[in-house]
Chains A and B, each alone.
Chain A
């Protein structure tokens, strides 16, 4: 039997050095269960030192998110299926971010925006009780937010975000978590509204692409929308 291969068409671009982006196609030997990350490593080791990010390999750090045929995936979690061997798979950097090189994007614009949200607990008096006295349900409510690995897959499919009308689901996670946290006294709902909360069309594409299975539209956007502004002082 001839060895089977997967064909990856990879976005290549070095700003300041290349005139424009190009695509290179590489053939990677296939074995059952091959992940996209393993395929990228194979290209790095055997063809060219393409630039891509990866760190934990077990869907925890969120750094290897890329676009595969236009959809965001975590490269470490995405297994290439038998049915995908015949066609070319296109790998591109995460949509909506400036490119540093090849598949590596610059998170900085988004991080700067996140920092402006004042993502820390805001309150008048310091917290006295350690461990904090929280509503019995608070832990369970917050558990979902803790699962987010900041891969930003949700943002890449959010039209209002890509059009610049909405800060995007990824940043809303912080606001929603703080809005539900009794320890935080800032008006997070008002903040979310001014960041374009109501531009969300409830298309639920973010739910489909979340690699940890978070129901973003429901637990993040939906919850923020259900809360009234000015309820915290």
Chain B
């Protein structure tokens, strides 16, 4: 029989959302297993995140209502307002700062007071930053040891391949332990899905290698409804070269501010400060979606630089800017002297704004399936406000963990459909054992990435999107010819990539179909054939779900 692991709550994903969910669930006295695709503590976007966390209201006049306004304005009015209210109130409770109970120490001034920063789109300063160049220490140094104190079982380097349901309710999941190639069956009462985003669908991304969108596909295949998948957020300023760090964020202008509020000015190849055309009021203090669009539009209209970007003036930066400890080693690595020269930059895919739809108790429409973090959708509308995702993984991670535990306390473990498990075993091992085929998983991955970049990128249109649908179907057909070279089941990274291809195909299809459906431009979604924001018709959400084995797209009221 299969190796089976039984638990009350299964948390999938070991980034900030998963860690905080697991910890909170465990506190409520249930048995928790956390399963993670990479090495625990080293994977997920949390390990590489660089920016700030929205932590509270410190200025006179600031309040949860003001943050709600900022988030909904940035989200272009299609956020799930209930979720935004919950978020703003959790921020008011200083939920993020509670990490300091675990030994975290956020950035402070010399007098020991917290160093609070302003970020684009926020009307008041509300963020703390790390001062070290990454956020990982802040989010993981504390909670990971707490998991050890609380004896949470961690199963790492294990890729979850399918969620299991019984009578429509969650009953567990299957996975492959990469270290020994064993097929695992997890039996659980509830699941917290915290698998992060899908940046790896694009060739130029800030995301780490694991961000192949697993959770969107896992939830979809289990019957979950997803929303807002057309909204893919970019960080406007990413490295263009050297090749090894292409797509790595240089930063958002506001995080590169000096103490007196100076941010990098942006210029096109004609040395025009082009933001004046797109957001004359805020200029480079504008939100991510506006700056991203502006840069892509400058490039599209022939005013891009030699390497396909625009110029950023960083000549002013020095050790006093919050992002300096992050950026300095990268600039040194890239051999770029920003003191004397402008630097070429281009937008890079950063964040999947949409995701699995959930209610105020963080449960999806699939009973027992809870979601947290980037895999979830609804909080951020059409464009996420800076500094909210890092706070979200902590605050909403905890909430998802809490509700998943409370539910687990009141229900018994579902049966397992063993036929479904065998079917999945056969599917996954066939990927490994199949001896005929000509295409490598890496080859297919590159095809998906190029398709998404060239046809589904940032200034979209119906013709290209429809073409993309056709090409994607062809790539899906190509998976029949996919072959994994080594037949060893032990740490076979090509096998892992082969499994991930199917997640990526599902997510790509969701993005393409949702983007086709939304016939307007809003937030991070821009259509050349529908350039205007249409509030009459489109204060709505586009949702996808599986109906009769096909992807069904529909438009629903907010």
- Pick from B100, B131, B442: contact of A127, CB below 8 A: B100
Q: Which of B83-105 contact A (CB under 8 A)?
A: 94, 97-98, 100-103, 105
Q: Do residues A120 and B39 form an inter-chain contact, with CB atoms below 8 A? A: no
Provide the bound-state CA to CA distance between A53 and B208, in Å: 12
Contacts of A126 in B (CB 8 A): 101
Q: Do residues A139 and B108 form an inter-chain contact, with CB atoms below 8 A? A: yes
Provide the bound-state CA to CA distance between A119 and B533, in Å: 52
Q: Do residues B102 and A104 form an inter-chain contact, with CB atoms below 8 A? A: no
- Pick from B42, B485, B492: contact of A61, CB below 8 A: B42
Q: Do residues A56 and B112 form an inter-chain contact, with CB atoms below 8 A? A: no
A55 at the interface (CB under 8 A from B): yes
Q: Do residues B103 and A63 form an inter-chain contact, with CB atoms below 8 A? A: no
Q: Do residues A55 and B47 form an inter-chain contact, with CB atoms below 8 A? A: yes
Q: Do residues A100 and B491 form an inter-chain contact, with CB atoms below 8 A? A: yes
Q: Which of A120-151 contact B (CB under 8 A)?
A: 120-121, 126-127, 130-136, 138-139, 142-143, 145-147, 150
Contact A17:B490 (CB < 8 A) given known A45-B442, A60-B47, A146-B137: yes
Distance from A185 Cβ to chain B, minimum over Cβ atoms (Å): 12
- Pick from B48, B245, B329, B491: contact of A104, CB below 8 A: B491
Distance from B472 Cβ to chain A, minimum over Cβ atoms (Å): 22
- Pick from B47, B98, B134, B486: contact of A48, CB below 8 A: B486
A38 at the interface (CB under 8 A from B): yes
Contact A61:B112 (CB < 8 A) given known A104-B491, A120-B148: no
Contacts of B149 in A (CB 8 A): 118, 120
Distance from A145 Cβ to chain B, minimum over Cβ atoms (Å): 8
Q: Which of B320-343 contact A (CB under 8 A)?
A: 325, 329-330, 333
Provide the bound-state CA to CA distance between A146 and B325, in Å: 12
Contacts of B243 in A (CB 8 A): 33, 38
In the complex, what residue of chain B is closest to A141 when comparing beta carbons? B105
In the complex, what residue of chain A is closest to B149 when comparing beta carbons? A120
Q: Do residues B493 and A51 form an inter-chain contact, with CB atoms below 8 A? A: yes
Provide the bound-state CA to CA distance between A100 and B97, in Å: 39
Distance from A171 Cβ to chain B, minimum over Cβ atoms (Å): 13
Residue with the greatest number of chain B CB neighbours at <10 A, chosen from A15, A120, A127, A147: A120
Provide the bound-state CA to CA distance between A57 and B43, in Å: 11
In the complex, what residue of chain B is closest to A50 when comparing beta carbons? B493
Contacts of B42 in A (CB 8 A): 55, 61-63, 150
A90 at the interface (CB under 8 A from B): no
Provide the bound-state CA to CA distance between A134 and B105, in Å: 9
Contact A57:B244 (CB < 8 A) given known A63-B39, A120-B102: yes
Provide the bound-state CA to CA distance between A102 and B486, in Å: 13
Q: Which of A46-98 contact B (CB under 8 A)?
A: 48-49, 51-63, 76-77, 79
Q: Do residues B488 and A17 form an inter-chain contact, with CB atoms below 8 A? A: yes
Contacts of B442 in A (CB 8 A): 44-45
Interface string of A28-50 (1 = CB under 8 A from B): 00000111011000001100110
Q: Do residues B490 and A131 form an inter-chain contact, with CB atoms below 8 A? A: no
Q: Do residues B134 and A133 form an inter-chain contact, with CB atoms below 8 A? A: no
Q: Do residues B41 and A100 form an inter-chain contact, with CB atoms below 8 A? A: no
Contact A101:B490 (CB < 8 A) given known A142-B105, A178-B103: yes
Contacts of B244 in A (CB 8 A): 33-35, 37-38, 57, 76
Contacts of B97 in A (CB 8 A): 130-131
Contacts of B133 in A (CB 8 A): 60, 147
Interface string of B237-251 (1 = CB under 8 A from A): 000001111001000
Provide the bound-state CA to CA distance between A57 and B41, in Å: 15
Distance from B144 Cβ to chain A, minimum over Cβ atoms (Å): 8
- Pick from B110, B145, B485, B492: contact of A136, CB below 8 A: B110
Q: Which of A141-183 contact B (CB under 8 A)?
A: 142-143, 145-147, 150, 177-178, 181, 183
Provide the bound-state CA to CA distance between A44 and B137, in Å: 31
In the complex, what residue of chain A is closest to B151 when comparing beta carbons? A115
Contacts of A218 in B (CB 8 A): none
B514 at the interface (CB under 8 A from A): no
B371 at the interface (CB under 8 A from A): no
A16 at the interface (CB under 8 A from B): yes
Contacts of A37 in B (CB 8 A): 244
- Pick from B94, B325, B329: contact of A59, CB below 8 A: B329
Q: Do residues B486 and A134 form an inter-chain contact, with CB atoms below 8 A? A: no
Q: Do residues B132 and A61 form an inter-chain contact, with CB atoms below 8 A? A: no
In the complex, what residue of chain A is closest to B95 when comparing beta carbons? A130
Q: Do residues A49 and B47 form an inter-chain contact, with CB atoms below 8 A? A: no
A23 at the interface (CB under 8 A from B): no
Interface string of B127-148 (1 = CB under 8 A from A): 0001111101110010001101
Distance from B233 Cβ to chain A, minimum over Cβ atoms (Å): 19
- Pick from A45, A107, A145: contact of B39, CB below 8 A: A107
In the complex, what residue of chain A is closest to B441 when comparing beta carbons? A49
Q: Do residues A45 and B440 form an inter-chain contact, with CB atoms below 8 A? A: yes
Contact A119:B148 (CB < 8 A) given known A101-B490, A178-B103: yes
Distance from B182 Cβ to chain A, minimum over Cβ atoms (Å): 13
Q: Which of B141-199 contact A (CB under 8 A)?
A: 141, 145-146, 148-149, 179
Pairs across A and B, CB under 8 Å, 15 listed: A44-B493, A49-B486, A57-B244, A58-B248, A60-B47, A76-B244, A107-B39, A118-B149, A131-B114, A133-B112, A134-B112, A139-B106, A146-B141, A147-B325, A184-B103
Q: A: which residues have CB within 8 A of B?
A: 14-17, 33-35, 37-38, 44-45, 48-49, 51-63, 76-77, 79, 100-102, 104, 106-107, 115, 118-121, 126-127, 130-136, 138-139, 142-143, 145-147, 150, 177-178, 181, 183-184, 212
List 18 additional contacts besides A49-B492, A121-B102, A146-B130; criterion CB under 8 Å. A33-B244, A45-B442, A53-B39, A54-B209, A57-B245, A60-B48, A60-B134, A61-B42, A118-B149, A120-B145, A127-B101, A131-B100, A132-B105, A134-B105, A138-B112, A139-B106, A142-B105, A146-B141
Q: B: which residues have CB within 8 A of A?
A: 38-39, 41-43, 47-48, 94, 97-98, 100-103, 105-108, 110-112, 114, 130-134, 136-138, 141, 145-146, 148-149, 179, 208-210, 242-245, 248, 325, 329-330, 333, 440, 442, 484-486, 488, 490-494
